[in-house]
Amino acid sequence: MKMIILLVCGLALILLSGCAQMRPIANTRNNEDSAELHSTDPNNHNTVAKHYEDMANEMKLKLRAKKKPLAEYEEHSYYYKRKE
């Protein structure tokens, strides 16, 4: 009887460990950005403005990087079996 209980407990532990989350819930990049923003004084307009300008410039760079593949996709849509 004790062997069965031990076996069931061990099996339950193995099955539940497979359901455990292996990575942090929040993205670390988002945590760094929010920590950087919260560490600045909200009354310091220049620092807050610079933070958002930097974020906007980062998004512009990402947009430029995505425009080339998009243009290629739109120009050669038949490669991707897209019907127009």
DSSP string, 11-58: HHHHHHHHTS--S-SS-HHHHHHHHHHHHS-TT-HHHHHHHHHHHHHH
Better pLDDT: 20 or 56 = 56
Better pLDDT: 29 or 74 = 74
Q: What is the pTM of this model?
A: 0.43
Average pLDDT over residues 39-48: 76
Q: List the single range of 7-11, 28-32, 33-37 with lowest mean pLDDT.
A: 28-32
**pLDDT tens track for 17-29:** 877 766 655 555 5
Reply yes or no on whether the pLDDT at 62 is more than 90.
Answer: yes
